Structure 1
Amino acid sequence: MADIAELTALIEPEVKALGFDLVRVKLFGSGDEHTLQIMAERPDTKQLVIEDCAAISRRLSDVLDEVDPIEEAYRLEVSSPGIDRPLTRLHDFMEWAGHEAKVSTTEIVAGRKSFRGSLRGVEGDDIQFHDNKAGDVAIPFALVGDAKLILTDALISASMPLSSDGADEFETEE
């Protein structure tokens, strides 16, 4: 499998050149089925529309075909991080402070490796977190293995769609 850091170094400048922020690069699969997943967002809205995904996909397809950094055959998937998004960058934990999240660590922190509760922000390189069972915890960002927001009414309200025009319109056959 290809090195994620090298793929990210190749992909991120291309995504930024189109005016988007890279959220995550993930390569997964086995056998003959591999997927290169790219998550990106508009800096101002934290979302993407289908035309944005298509533009990123076209640009990355050209670069990836030219450089050919992945030996295996793979499918390129470009998407928005979605509402219950992964938290992959330190500033994500600050931007989404006040929302509920699940965080798993690669090493034991405050006697645990799995946390569920509220994001409280960031201090230095530590995520400030209120765990439902352990209380307030400082989690070193370097030890975060996986983190994502939990779908709640508050998160849905904070993640309203770019446009709801036509959302309640539909056509019927007569």
Structure 2
Amino acid sequence: MSKVTEVVEELAAPICQELGIELVEIEYVKEGKSWFLRVYIDKDNGVDIEDCGLVSERLGEKLDEIDPIPHNYFLEVSSPGAERPLKKQKDFEKAIGKNVFIKTYEPIDGEKSFEGTLLEFDGQIVKLEIKIKTRKKTIDIPYEKVAAARLAVTFS
């Protein structure tokens, strides 16, 4: 994690905790000529524009006080969206029973990308039910081999 995101996490975490909001992820990226500080938040029944505005206002005040970023940037506070990333073990635990998309660092059964229902997660193994043509198959993915994971939106 970059120094900027570490500092922002230290500032944002207590603000979110006080508001009963989960701090999901922080990104600090350059796009074109502009820098963006993106803070993703969530809560059980979803965040709304007021939640985002409140976190943005409070975090903006803290950032102005300590000024950890030496150049201009845009602060964006938003929901992680329907395809929320699964970064931490607790994210996987909360996603049990949901459709997820997982990419691995190395092939498992000849594949590096999987989409299916997250059946179980014990902290070591992600058990996924995937559909291959007309049949279902269960696959075990070691947690340490997960490169990226997110909720997957399905349209029926």
Gaps of 5+ in 1: 155-174
Q: Of the candidates 120, 130, 151, which is equivalent to residue 149 of structure 1?
A: 151
Kindly indicate which of the two structures has a greater share of residues assigned to strand. Answer: 2
- The 2-side partners of 1:69 and 1:128 are apart by 41
1:9–1:139 distance in 2 versus 1, CA, 3 Å: farther
Query: 2:40 aligns to what?
Result: 39
TM-score (norm 2): 0.80
Say whether the 8 Å CA contact 1:37–1:78 is kept in structure 2: yes
Say whether the 8 Å CA contact 1:109–1:139 is kept in structure 2: no
Query: 2:141 aligns to what?
Result: 139
Gaps of 5+ in 2: none
Say whether the 8 Å CA contact 1:99–1:149 is kept in structure 2: yes
How many residue pairs are counted as aligned between the two chains? 151
Deviations 1:124-163 (A, max 9, x none): 2332223445943333434433222121258xxxxxxxxx
- The 2-side partners of 1:16 and 1:40 are apart by 11
Q: What secondary structure sits across from 1:81 in the alignment?
A: coil
- The 2-side partners of 1:8 and 1:142 are apart by 24
- The CA RMSD measured in Å over matched residues stands at 2.6
Say whether the 8 Å CA contact 1:23–1:89 is kept in structure 2: no
Say whether the 8 Å CA contact 1:84–1:148 is kept in structure 2: yes
TM-score (norm 1): 0.73
